[in-house]
Amino acid sequence: MEPTNLQPNRRPRLTAKGRQTRARIVSEAAALMFERGVAGTSVEDVQRAAKVSASQLYHYFKEKRELVLAVVDHQVASVLEAQQPLLSRLDSFEALQTWCDAIVALQDERQCRGGCPIGSLASELSELEPEARTGLAAGYMRWEQSIRAGLRAMRDRGALTPAADPERLALGMLAALQGGLLLTQVRRDTGPLRAALDMAMGHIHSFAASGEPG
């Protein structure tokens, strides 16, 4: 992380305007880091994009590390909130497929650039910044829990057989999603993402109870 010469100080309580300014700085930093990476984004880059002075930026973040941790929280929240209407009800095969289709459509819209905002940060920060890794791991766990809740509801309703393990299936689905996003980013083609999600869905379908589409 880029050091600064500022001395540590107590963070002031923010006004409504201050919260808006801080949120704008974090949002601009997140966009730049998604496009260029953390290492490729300087504090000065963020300052220019957010249209704030150096003193304003350092008022909210005394060093780049603090800003990066705020970006981690921002990206986790943004990814999960964007998917929440679908993630909150993954309790049928149809709902799971709709969610998968939406993820593929988003990558088509982005022309397969950038990959997963959480995954991009994870690949760059996990070995360098323990606190960032902890925040990213917590974000992935929230994502996994949403998938797991839907699968557990399906099993409890009888749509999945008792042999289905929602925890393992949810973890496998998330792992397939992340791997598919990475290959899609590298190849600039949604084929790998679609293949990974189709295989995960196929495995979940293998636990379909009698009378359910499988």
What pLDDT, in 10s, does the model give residues 35-47? Answer: 999 999 999 999 9
* Mean pLDDT for the stretch of residues 173-177: 98
* Mean pLDDT for the stretch of residues 66-70: 97
What pLDDT, in 10s, does the model give residues 179-193? Answer: 999 999 999 999 999
Q: Which residue has the tokens 């880029």?
A: 2
Q: Quote the pLDDT of residue 13.
A: 76
pLDDT band for position 27 (50/70/90)? very high
pLDDT band for position 14 (50/70/90)? confident
Q: Quote the pLDDT of residue 152.
A: 98
Q: What pTM was computed for the model?
A: 0.86
| Summary mean pLDDT of the chain | 92
* Mean pLDDT for the stretch of residues 5-11: 42
* Mean pLDDT for the stretch of residues 40-68: 95
pLDDT band for position 212 (50/70/90)? low
pLDDT band for position 16 (50/70/90)? confident
Looking at the chain, the whole-number percentage of residues with pLDDT higher than 70 is: 93
Q: Quote the pLDDT of residue 4.
A: 41
Q: Quote the pLDDT of residue 9.
A: 42
pLDDT band for position 17 (50/70/90)? confident
pLDDT of residue 10 exceeding 90, the answer is no
Q: Say yes or no: domain 16-205 is CATH 3.40.830.10.
A: no
